[in-house]
């Protein structure tokens, strides 16, 4: 089975996987993911990031539920990755998002740029494992079969695809729990319209020895994985290698991300500090009142 899947992946750049999750694993992943979608991350409240109009992004999903880690290290997944990427691949990114309903074409055709193309004449391989956490009947992932490994990844304008037949475009619809793997150099997109909110996770695997493009270094996109100690029992030495244990090649000491909205950040900080000052000012009067009520037997 793994070898047959790898053969299809070599030919098409995309494979649909058999079920990787039990019903209880999927339910746990859905529940944990949903808790982060309830609100935007802010101050001490974990949640989603909002950096664009139509997606709510959740970083570092491996900390949320055991199922995310289990599927990342699933034996079938590891075997296909070994055959397709070679022995030095690692899981370098684990995130997901909710795509919001829209008819706007906000995520056009592209290949995923990630390596420094100025020093690479070849096209290093990268694989993403995608898993739907909701049923997807619209706004599905779309991929042009056989387009992988042909050119350095970039945005692809529609005019360059006029000769592409509909038969060569795969639309990955499916129920919650559907999983597939694809070579990210292939031409792909999220199709439109998105008629219902779509939740999905994407786990990214490549060789961390490949030099990264400047944009991803400055954003610290491929930072060492954030993991939950509660989920790390019974790992093999190979699992630890795939998760990057002890690998500091892409670690940046004291990294600080560039502030995108400094005025809004300052306003939010001022509001929090003002609220804390009010609460502090009210603490002692409330405490004295509570003691007085106790002394009078009113509580």
Other Cβ atoms within 10 Å of 212 Cβ, number: 19
Rounded Cα–Cα distance for residues 284 and 35 (Å): 35
pLDDT band at 287 (very low <50, low <70, confident <90, very high): low
The structure's pTM equals 0.91
pLDDT at 277: 80
Q: What share of the chain has pLDDT > 90, as a percent?
A: 80
pLDDT at 291: 67
pLDDT band at 295 (very low <50, low <70, confident <90, very high): low
pLDDT at 258: 85
Position 5 pLDDT exceeds 80 = yes
Q: What is the pLDDT of residues 87-121, one digit of tens each?
A: 999 999 999 999 999 999 888 999 999 999 999 88
pLDDT at 60: 97
pLDDT at 264: 79
pLDDT band at 260 (very low <50, low <70, confident <90, very high): confident
Whole-number average pLDDT of the chain = 93
Position 284 pLDDT exceeds 90 = no
Q: What is the pLDDT of residues 67-87, one digit of tens each?
A: 999 999 999 999 999 999 999
pLDDT band at 53 (very low <50, low <70, confident <90, very high): very high
pLDDT at 180: 98
Q: What is the pLDDT of residues 168-208, one digit of tens each?
A: 999 999 999 999 999 999 999 999 999 999 999 999 999 99
pLDDT at 279: 75
Q: What is the 3-state secondary structure (H, E, C) of the chain?
A: CHHHHHHHHHHHCEEEECCCCCHHHHHHHHHHHHHHCCCECECCECCEEEEECCEEEECCHHHCCHHHHHHHCCHHHHHHHHHHHCCCCEEEEEEEEEECCECCCCCCCECCCCECCCCCCCCCCEEEEEEECCCEEEEEEEEECCCCCCCCCCECCHHHHCCCCHHHEEEEEECCCCEEEEECCCCEEECCCECCCEEEEEEEEECCCCCECHHHHHHCCCCCCCCCHHHCCCCCHHHHHHCCCCCCCCCCCCCCCCCCCHHHHHHHHHHHHHHHHHHHHHHHHHHHHHHHHHHCCCC
Position 299 pLDDT exceeds 70 = no
The answer to which of 8-22, 38-52, 56-70, 74-88 has the lowest mean pLDDT is 38-52
Mean pLDDT of 40-66: 94
Among the listed residues 216, 204, 208, 212, the one whose alpha carbon sits nearest the alpha carbon of residue 241 = 208
pLDDT at 267: 83
Mean pLDDT of 129-147: 97
Q: What share of the chain has pLDDT > 70, as a percent?
A: 95
């Amino acid at each position: 089975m793994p070898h047959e899947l790898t053969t299809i992946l070599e030919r098409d750049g995309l494979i649909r996987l058999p079920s990787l999750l039990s019903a209880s694993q999927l339910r746990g992943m859905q529940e944990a993911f949903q808790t982060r979608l309830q609100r935007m991350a802010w101050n001490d409240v974990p949640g989603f990031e909002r950096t664009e109009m139509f997606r709510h992004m959740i970083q570092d999903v491996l900390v949320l539920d055991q199922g995310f880690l289990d599927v990342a290290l699933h034996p079938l997944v590891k075997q296909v990755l070994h055959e397709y990427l070679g022995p030095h691949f690692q899981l370098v990114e684990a995130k997901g998002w909710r795509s919001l309903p829209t008819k706007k074409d906000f995520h056009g055709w592209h290949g995923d740029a990630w390596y420094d193309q100025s020093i690479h004449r070849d096209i290093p391989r990268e694989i993403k494992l995608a898993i739907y956490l909701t049923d997807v009947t619209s706004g599905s992932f779309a991929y042009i079969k056989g387009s992988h490994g042909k050119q350095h990844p970039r945005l692809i304008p529609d005019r360059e695809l006029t000769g592409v037949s509909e038969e060569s475009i795969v639309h990955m619809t499916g129920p919650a729990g559907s999983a597939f793997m694809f070579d990210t150099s292939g031409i792909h997109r999220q199709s439109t319209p998105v008629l219902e909110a779509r939740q999905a996770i994407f786990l990214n695997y490549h060789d961390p020895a490949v030099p990264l493009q400047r944009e991803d270094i400055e954003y610290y996109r491929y930072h060492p994985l954030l993991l939950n100690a509660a989920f790390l029992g019974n790992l093999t030495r190979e699992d630890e290698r795939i998760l990057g244990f002890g690998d500091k090649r892409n670690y940046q000491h004291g990294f600080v991300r560039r502030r995108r909205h400094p005025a809004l950040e300052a306003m939010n900080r001022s509001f929090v500090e003002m609220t804390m000052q009010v609460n502090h000012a009210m603490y002692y009067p409330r405490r004295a009142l509570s003691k007085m009520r106790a002394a009078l037997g009113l509580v």
